[in-house]
Structure 1
Amino acid sequence: MTPTPPVLRFGLAANRLHHETYGAAIFRWLEQSAVGIRELGLELYTVGRTLDAIERSDLLKGYPGLIRYPYGREGGLMKLVARVTEGAGDERPFDGAIYLIDPVDPSSIFPEALALKRQCITHGRPFISTLMGAVEWIEVERLCRGLAPDPKLDPIFDFSRQTLALIAHDALKDQMVEYAARHFDLLSRFAHRVGTGTTSRRLNELAWSRGWPADRPWVQPYLSGPLGGDAQIAELVLEERCQRVIFFEDPHVARQHEADIQLLERAVRVVTDKACCIASPAVAGKWAEAVERRG
């Protein structure tokens, strides 16, 4: 007998812009994903005002998996950080966090917001900060549970019209090459791939060894991160010419060009319904395996 998979637990929060009025990102997410949330029995540990807004909307009316956490000023986001790191009592840690970020909201750079992202990356759990990413991740979890693909989401998974950025910090470049080798056919479905510096060179060498035409790059190279490559790709994202970023971030090393990295992440959040970012090898692997099942 196949064992019942554990209940998924995610932290959930949204900056004011994304929950203040109907039509904001949190409501658009639920309009597209509420059925999937119910199918999964997903437990959403939701910070104060975000939960207030969801309850007013009735988009998850009567759903028992909507669990209140304190307001942000009372430490709600801090508690999410702790629960991503370890569980409470005998419970497992959270499986990830959805934090819909308004990049011009001062609270988006509070220590607890930065720590939530860092701990998710450190522990190989999804940190989802855009509307597109939140819609897609519910589908990823559904596919991992063996549920049938949602045809309404086919446009999100039509990679023939999308550009993918592939970026990795020094300590994770080998893992990026291994990832690309393992999922080469999937990543080749994208209309275009872009990347920075050394990562682009190594990925192109991989592609040429796999039979990719030698007269054209598999990944269009931009400058290295410290020389401005992250900023160049951020501009592509803002112009809606790059929809996805897979960025293997090393959370343990301080970098002189940290501002450029934050610029790229900020750009993704500006176009919240048009772009998303995956920031760790474990999460990128789960995403790829789910999408490959989708066909």
Structure 2
Amino acid sequence: MPLGLPPLRIGLAASALHRAAPNGALFRLLGPLERSIREELRAELFVLGQTYDALAADGVLADYPRLTRLPMRRDGGVIHLVAAVVSGDPARRLDAVIYLLDPDDPTSVFPEGQALKRECVIHETLFVSTLAHAREWFELARVECGFAPNPLLDTHFDFASQTIALIAHDSCKGELIEFVRGRFAFFDRFRRRIATGTTGAMLNDLAEEISAAHTPWVQRFHSGPLGGDAEIALEILENRCRRVIFLEDPHVARQHEADIQLLER
């Protein structure tokens, strides 16, 4: 980290699938990043018990002094992560949580896991659950700290070839519109933009206001309660959509919660 900036504090966990073999997502993430974590970012890692043990068995980050073992999940390790997310002490609060999830692992929907994600949303703490997202986030953290970009990751940031989905719950739609307004040139770089019904209509109105566009700037699907989230989930499943920005309101019950969970899965 640049002189004077505190090191990043990162919670780390991985489902059994991602830590059970040397080619698991946990090792594909941290193996290439080990030097950067040690020498550039000097990140503090707070690692769930089973994940820590898997790293130790494979020799990843061996003897790294900023590696802390938390209890195993069954002994409350995830609750430790939740407490660090909500902590009012800046010296204890996490900057990000990386939890490499296997959607077929039932522990991913246990209450403590759901609470971890919810509190990350409420407290605006980054929650990362996929290998691709984790790789990109570490790269952005490196670049933000002044280190040269890794050319091997250039394709990850080739937005002109990618599709992005833009979704927001009703109470967050205005926030999403203003977010896009302030970064319109960036979002305009994407090959394709998709959204659920009402959000898509609002984004198309915004595009017409900013760029006088006469063709739809966003491809609209159904509204969320009418199946739009499921339609976008299919776009992701069939590799037609690489990125999703979803502004969630964690305080509101959703009638189509199952569709939202399908999209997140």
Relative to the length of structure 2, the TM-score reads 0.95
Q: Distance in 1 between matches of 2:227 and 2:148?
A: 42
Instruction: Give the aligned residue type for 1:72.
Output: R
User: What does residue 71 of structure 1 align with?
Assistant: 72
Q: Distance in 2 between matches of 1:211 and 1:252?
A: 35
User: What does residue 223 of structure 2 align with?
Assistant: 224
User: What does residue 191 of structure 1 align with?
Assistant: 191
User: What does residue 251 of structure 2 align with?
Assistant: 252
User: What does residue 236 of structure 1 align with?
Assistant: 235
Q: Distance in 2 between matches of 1:217 and 1:42?
A: 43
Contact 1:37 1:138 in 2 (8 A): no
Tell me the CA shift for residue 69 of structure 1.
Answer: 0.4
1:264 and 2:263 equivalent?
Answer: yes
Tell me how many residue pairs correspond in the alignment. Answer: 263
User: What does residue 41 of structure 2 align with?
Assistant: 40
Contact 1:196 1:230 in 2 (8 A): yes
What aligned pairs does 1:74-85 form with structure 2 within 5 A after superposition?
A: 74-85=75-86
Task: Provide the identity percentage.
Answer: 52
Instruction: Give the aligned residue type for 1:253.
Output: V
Q: Deviations over 1:69-99 (max 9, x none)?
A: 00111100111011101066x7231112000
Instruction: Give the aligned residue type for 1:47.
Output: L
User: What does residue 51 of structure 2 align with?
Assistant: 50
Q: Distance in 2 between matches of 1:32 and 1:203?
A: 38
Q: Distance in 2 between matches of 1:36 and 1:217?
A: 42
Structure 2: gaps of 5 or more residues: none
Q: Deviations over 1:231-272 (max 9, x none)?
A: 000001000110110000111111111111110000xxxxxx
Q: Distance in 2 between matches of 1:92 and 1:35?
A: 24
1:210 and 2:210 equivalent?
Answer: yes
What aligned pairs does 1:112-191 form with structure 2 within 5 A after superposition?
A: 112-191=112-191
Contact 1:10 1:44 in 2 (8 A): yes
SS in 1 for 2:93: coil
Q: Distance in 2 between matches of 1:223 and 1:156?
A: 28
Structure 1: gaps of 5 or more residues: 267-295
Tell me the CA shift for residue 16 of structure 1.
Answer: 0.4
Tell me the CA shift for residue 152 of structure 1.
Answer: 1.6
Q: Distance in 2 between matches of 1:22 and 1:148?
A: 28
What aligned pairs does 1:84-99 form with structure 2 within 5 A after superposition?
A: 84-86=85-87, 91-99=91-99
User: What does residue 105 of structure 1 align with?
Assistant: 105
User: Which protein, 1 or 2, shows the higher relative CO under an 8 Å CA cutoff with sep ≥ 6?
Assistant: 1
